[in-house]
Structure 1
Amino acid sequence: MWRLILADLVVAIHFSFILFVVLGGLLALKWRRIVWLHLPAAVWGALIEFAGWICPLTFIENRLRTGHGSGYSSSFIEHYLIPVIYPSALTREIQIGLGLTVVLINVLIYRQYYIKWLKRQP
């Protein structure tokens, strides 16, 4: 029981991290220090997709679900977040596309960050 709860928690953290990777630059527009957390996270997220690696959080979640049948019962997190994080039709081309999407979104956001920074300069 506790292992399944922890697995759900890992999925929620994983989903939150993905959102931070994709959109965390928007937080940096408001709070400049977030840049130091977001840039490494965005690089990691894009690298995972470009290299075709599996995120360590996936291994942790799978390990916690071991021995519980298929692992996915009917909890909200499992039903709604798992398909978003682990799409069944994920191909290598889609992974590269996701990596490019992460890079493009963040380049556009940090372009705004840079423009905002330039306006502050004397």
Structure 2
Amino acid sequence: MLWWFQKFLPRTSQEAFVKNVGLQSRSNSKLNNLSAAAVSAHVVDLEDQLKRSQDQSAEMKKELDAIKKKSEEEVASIKMKADVAEAAQAQRDKDYQALLTRTEDNDARVAHMMALFGSNNSSAGN
């Protein structure tokens, strides 16, 4: 990684460049100073961390899926209740209209009967 600029820059410029870009040269690298056992232990630790992270991610995905499923079931239940309520309201509206029609018909009959009896009473009284 650092080899490309080593060909073109003098040693002091190389060190300044590495320092300026925030990189370490290979000789100062942390990994070069560690023993093979330490590196191996570090790799095992990182693999363990990765495994725990993957397990945690899988568990969170399961929890999220369960929450989504529950939410979808609740939405379906609410929609079903709304449909039932809407159907009940439609039936009440239909029943109300039928009652209103019967009431209007009865009112018309009563008015007609009153008109008939009123005309009979007025002709009988003469």
TM-score category by the smaller chain? 0.3 to 0.5
Instruction: Say which structure is richer in helix.
Output: 2
User: Could you state the TM-score of these two structures normalised by the residue count of structure 1?
Assistant: 0.38
Higher relative contact order (CA 8 A, sep 6+): 1
| Higher Cα radius of gyration | 2
User: Could you state the TM-score of these two structures normalised by the residue count of structure 2?
Assistant: 0.37
